């Protein structure tokens, strides 16, 4: 009896102990976890930065526009064969973005957004739409100026890209894929980018702010809401690398497009290449940077000033030149007819040469508004340069540089059997490197063209009809 009673008491005691332990564990499990301490100062700074971004987006967006274009292709003109084109003409629609430059209706965008457009429409942030006309375009920088009949528009404020610092926050605003007033953020990744091969004049701001098709022509702004550049292109979709035309270049081009419909640029009359330590050893002196002149244009400004192939330009008006792109950027910031002083290394000697800038040859002119197909001297041919960007886009790996964009029905080119998509390799047995080479060959009314069509090459004469 006592043993039994003692065992029962032990079981009761053990059960009580387990119950207490389970109650304690349940209480601990049901208790709320301790919240981490929030750094009030850090949160305040983050909220201030967030407010700055939203304020910029709200203040700048009214000066950004969405652009819709229509390009009418002739019935015998389609996307070139080697471009994988389909269809035979009709209306092709596209779009991009733009920045209101002046309150009286002048809008800056990219040339490639409105190139060859038969109809352009601009839509404002408030939803109003206006037909737009092309005032002028500059293919060298890929900029174009539009005009709509409107007043008291909210114009953008421009800042200085030259004073901007790599690493600072930037905001891109535009209409990627037709999604109006999309805002993306990032940093200014680099300045002075060139050598990409997309345009004749390259001096880009690089950013990781997301830029996609449709952002073209929209602004890249700083946290003060001032435009640092005009977004113009990307390297591959989703790569995180976008480029913008610096504000200083954009404003200079815009001013001339409004005043003259075209752009005049300072020109030295030379071509150049980068000078490497190996080249420096052959041209005298130690490697200190500079631009090596490899061609001097006869009767051009440099020729008249006495510059020679093999000279190395090391400074312009005292500003050091480290590479060829520095020379191009520096010269383009001067006016036509301006007197500039060059520091030139020739062999082991250094010379100071004064030069009066000339006007850079320009193939745009009225061509920005009127395709080559309307030019009688081209015998019905509408030509386009096969840029690196087009090569990459359409996977063309040949050595051609100019292709037939269109052929006027019933023209001499049409009678000769030329087709859109033909690549012109030679004209009168001379290599074709630009549209100007074809134009020169056709000056006398006839030319022997060497063409590439669907991987087949052949000669084709073309003659002006009497």
Point out the residues that are catalytic.
Answer: 112, 142, 216
Decide: 257 and 98 in contact? Cβ < 8 Å.
no
Decide: 374 and 368 in contact? Cβ < 8 Å.
no
Cα–Cα distances (Å) from 180 to 66, 96, 97, 187, 209, in that order, read 6, 9, 9, 22, 16
Which candidate, 193, 234, 166, places its Cα nearest to that of 325? Answer: 193
DSSP 444: T
**C-alpha–C-alpha distance, residues 211 and 286, integer Å:** 42
Cα–Cα distances (Å) from 241 to 190, 209, 384, in that order, read 10, 8, 27
Q: How many CB atoms lie within 10 A of CB 189?
A: 18
Decide: 207 and 220 in contact? Cβ < 8 Å.
yes
Which candidate, 189, 238, 190, places its Cα nearest to that of 211? Answer: 238
Q: Number of H helices and number of E strands within the chain?
A: 10, 27
How large is the C-alpha radius of gyration of the chain?
32
Tokens read off for 90: 């009709």
Q: How many CB atoms lie within 10 A of CB 272?
A: 22
The number of angstroms, rounded, from the C-alpha of 139 to the middle of its chain's C-alpha atoms is: 11
Which candidate, 316, 315, 323, places its Cα nearest to that of 289? Answer: 323
Decide: 318 and 231 in contact? Cβ < 8 Å.
no
């Amino acid at each position: 009896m006592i043993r039994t009673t003692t065992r029962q008491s032990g079981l009761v005691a053990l059960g009580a102990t387990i119950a207490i332990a389970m109650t304690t564990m349940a209480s601990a499990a049901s208790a709320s976890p301790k919240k981490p301490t929030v750094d009030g100062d850090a949160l305040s700074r983050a909220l201030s930065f967030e407010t700055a971004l939203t304020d910029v987006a709200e203040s700048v967006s009214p000066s950004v526009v969405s652009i819709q274009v229509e390009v009418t292709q002739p019935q015998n003109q389609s996307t070139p064969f080697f471009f994988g084109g389909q269809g035979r003409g009709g209306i092709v629609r596209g779009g991009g973005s733009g920045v209101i430059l002046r309150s009286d209706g002048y809008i800056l965008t990219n040339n490639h957004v409105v190139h060859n457009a038969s109809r352009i429409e601009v839509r404002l942030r408030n939803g109003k739409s206006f037909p737009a006309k092309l005032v002028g375009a500059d293919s060298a920088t890929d900029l174009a100026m539009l005009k709509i009949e409107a007043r008291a528009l909210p114009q953008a404020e421009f800042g200085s890209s030259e004073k901007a610092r790599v690493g600072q926050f930037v905001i891109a605003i535009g209409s990627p894929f037709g999604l109006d007033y999309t805002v993306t953020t990032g940093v200014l990744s680099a300045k002075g980018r060139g050598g990409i091969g997309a345009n004749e004049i390259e001096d880009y701001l690089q950013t990781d702010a997301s830029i996609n098709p449709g952002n073209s022509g929209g602004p890249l702004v700083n946290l003060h809401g001032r435009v640092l550049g005009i977004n113009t292109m990307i390297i591959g979709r989703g790569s995180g690398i976008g480029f913008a035309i610096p504000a200083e270049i954009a404003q200079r081009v815009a001013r001339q497009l409004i005043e003259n419909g075209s752009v005049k640029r300072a020109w030295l009359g030379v071509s150049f290449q980068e000078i490497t330590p190996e080249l420096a050893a052959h041209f005298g002196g130690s490697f200190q940077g500079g631009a090596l002149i490899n061609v001097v244009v006869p009767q051009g400004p440099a020729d008249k000033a006495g510059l020679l192939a093999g000279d190395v330009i090391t400074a312009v008006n005292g500003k050091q030149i480290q590479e060829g792109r520095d020379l191009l950027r520096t010269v383009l910031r001067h006016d036509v007819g301006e007197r500039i002083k060059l520091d030139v290394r020739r062999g082991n000697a250094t010379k100071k040469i004064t030069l009066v800038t000339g006007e850079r040859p320009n193939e745009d002119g009225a061509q920005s508004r009127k395709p080559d197909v309307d030019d009688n001297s081209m015998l019905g041919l509408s030509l386009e340069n096969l840029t690196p960007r087009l090569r990459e886009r359409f996977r063309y790996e040949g050595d051609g540089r100019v292709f037939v964009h269109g052929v006027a029905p019933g023209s001499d080119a049409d009678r000769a059997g030329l087709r859109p998509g033909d690549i012109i390799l030679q004209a009168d047995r001379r290599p074709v490197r630009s549209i100007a080479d074809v134009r020169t060959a056709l000056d006398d009314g006839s030319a022997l063209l060497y063409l590439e069509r669907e991987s087949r090459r052949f000669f084709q004469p073309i003659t002006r009809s009497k």
